[in-house]
Structures are given as structure tokens and as C-alpha cells.
Amino acid sequence: MKRILVTGGCGFIGRHVAQELVEHGYEVRILDALLEQVHGAEAITLPAGAELMKGDVLDREIVVEALSNVDAVVHLAAEVGVGQSMYEIARYVGTNDLGTAIILEALIKRPVERVVVASSMSIYGEGLYETADGRRIDDARRKASDIKSGQWDLLSDGGDRLAPVPTDEEKRADLASIYALTKYAQERAVLIFGQAYGIDAVALRLFNVFGAGQALSNPYTGVLANFAARLANGQRPMIFEDGEQKRDFVHVRDVARAFRLALEQRQAQGHAINIGSGRSYTISEVARLLADAMGEPGLRPEILGKSRSGDIRNCFADISKAHELLGFEPEHRLEHSLDEFVAWVRNTVAIDRGADMKRELEERGLVS
């Protein structure tokens, strides 16, 4: 396996994956549409020797050309954002699902050794929970009436609070947003295709990815980038609900290494695998850590006390399967990586569009 096609390879994760592959001796070809929402006016810097083809995964001809003489595919190209997916539905379904279908059809005539697709923790909906007596609950959902009344935590049928626990891959999918639906369709399509055509296929379910290179001016990107854009412009981070919801934050360099391992480890074939840090952080805790790191301790988060359609309460990763099948261990903890992230933010133009995002959601009745 020598030459790898990375779709979306100029994006935040894609650039790090391309760099990881080049550093380990692979030839890399990148296919990227270079969308303004993702890249803005930033100059694209590629790893030495990487080949760039500008084009959309919805363009059958450019996809076929991009697959010429490659040995494997890392498929990252996708529209990303739970909130935006709830009103730009055709765009998300088109790029994520039809785009993936076009790649798979092209692979029938131009097969490769392995395809690794970026899936998402969003497919789980709510993460895994336990009752007070230790019973596993993998289909927990909040009631609209509870959310409306400000009851953010999930309750058992008896009214007791359910305890969030690390989510493993056995947890059933529960699709709470259009984005989650498209990512699940991408994942399953690739795995089904691989089995049918004898091509090794792996899906990596990414949790909240952070690090240098995030699109700070795109309000639908990761929460850490949103907070950084607000703080860089002297504004308090905005947090929906009460800020106590828990997430798993995994460094982009760890994610890039996971993609390389997924190409290399034969035993990963046919599996969907969580890629996270294995730790949980409340969103308000993350906002405070970042404000301190940016020298803005007075800019404490603005707790909105409102919910967004498609949001879930808690989800953080059990990464034991990644350890077993990939030999994956995260090396960059959030609290030890913020200085590097902040140094990058200070040298980047960060346009705060958080208020625009909130208004767009409210105008469509997606905030309550």
C-alpha cells in the first residue's frame, strides 16, 4: 500500500491525516472542493510531496480520475455540523451520502485494498447510561416536555437520574439529527460495500476533535473552535442548556494516527471503531479552561438555558476496541494541549459568527 487518496484532505482533520501519512512514507493524493465555509480565504499548506486535485465528491469524473493508481482511500469529505444539518438538509445528504455513493460506484471499476471512512459519535444519539442498580441503558432519550421545563438530565422510568458511562460500539445507533443520519449512512454504505466487493473497509467513529487548524470562523465546526473565536473577539462563549453536558475531546494528531493505523492493521477490517480520548469533560469546564489559557479568565461562559434541536446530553468514548484492534492510545490530553492551540489561535484571523449561528437556528424554530 503506497499511494493513498484522502478526500477532504485540505480540511482540519484531512491536513493532519495527510501529514501523518507522508511522514510514514506514503504517497498522498488529496481531493478537496475547498469550500469557503470551511477554508475561508486561508492559504492551503500541504505536506511536501502531496498532490492536490480540486474537485467535489459529487463530480463523478473527478472522483474516477482521483482514484487512478491509488491503493487505498481515506474518506473524510463531508458537510459537518449538527445544527446546520437541520435546515440545509439537501446539502448534507447530497455531499455526505450521495458523495459517498459516487466514490463507491467508482471503486467497482477501480478497486483499492482498503477504504477508511470518517464516521461520527453523533450516530449514537445519547451515549450509554446506567441505572442506580447498574443496568445498562442504550436507548435513553430525553422527552421534549422535560427539556422545555429545563430538566436537562435523563431520567429512568421511575424518575431517577441516569448515570452517563463510556459509550462502546455495542451501543445501538439513535439518530437525533440529519447530520447523524448522513454519517450513519456513510458508515454503513462503506462497510456493506466492502463486504460485497471484497475490499477491506473500516469506519472510525470520531468524537469531538480539536487542535490547531480548525475553522475558527465556521460556527458549525467543533465547540472548542467556536469558543476560541468568541474569546479572541472579547466575547463570552455561548453554551446551550446548563453547560454540564459531557463530551470527549480528542486531539487531531491522535485522530490522524488512528487513520494511519486503520489503514495498516489488518484485524480492523469490517469494524466500526470509536476514536476518542476516553475521558469526559463538561462543556462549561472546557470553556473555562480555554478562557484561562487565552488569558481571559473574566470571560466566563454565557449559559443560555436553551436547547438546540438535535443536541444530546452526554456522550463520551469507550476506546478499548481501538486499543485492541488498532493499538491506539491517545497521547494529547485536552488540558495539556491548550497552550499550543491558543498559540495557533493568536496567529489566526477568527471571525466570531456564533451569534449568527444562534440567530439562524432560532429563526427556524430549532432553539427552545
Res. 351: pLDDT tops 80: no
Measure the CA–CA gap between 321 and 278, rounded to whole angstroms.
11
> Does residue 42 lie within any of the structural domains?
yes
Helix or strand (DSSP H, E) at 322: helix 320-326
pLDDT of residue 364: 64
Q: How far apart are CA 348 and CA 308, in angstroms?
A: 29
CATH number, domain at 23? 3.40.50.720
Which one from 124, 179, 220, 281 is the annotated catalytic residue?
A: 179
pLDDT tens-digit map of 270-324: 999 999 999 999 999 999 999 999 999 999 999 999 887 768 899 999 999 999 9
**Is position 221 within any domain?**
yes
Mean pLDDT of the chain: 90
Higher pLDDT, 232 or 116: 116
Are 259 and 17 a contacting pair, CB within 8 Å? yes
Neighbours of 21 (CB within 10 A): 24
- Does residue 368 belong to any structural domain of this protein? no
Do the domain assignments include residue 114?
Answer: yes
What's the pTM value of the predicted model, to 2 decimals? 0.91
Residue 41 reports pLDDT greater than 80: no
220 is catalytic: no
Mean pLDDT calculated for residue range 252-281: 97
Grid coordinates representing 224? Answer: 472548542
Residue 197 lies in a domain: yes
Amino acid 4: pLDDT = 98
**Which of 204-213, 317-326, 335-344, 355-364 is the most confident on average?**
317-326
Q: How many domains does the chain have?
A: 1
- pLDDT, tens digit, 9 for 90 and up, residues 167-206: 999 999 999 889 999 999 999 999 999 999 999 999 999 9
Q: Which domain holds residue 291?
A: 3-363
pLDDT of residue 366: 58
241 domain-assigned: yes
Between CA 253 and CA 258 the distance in angstroms is 9
Highest mean pLDDT among 56-60, 228-232, 344-348, 351-355: 56-60
Choose the weakest-confidence range: 29-33, 89-93, 221-225.
Answer: 221-225
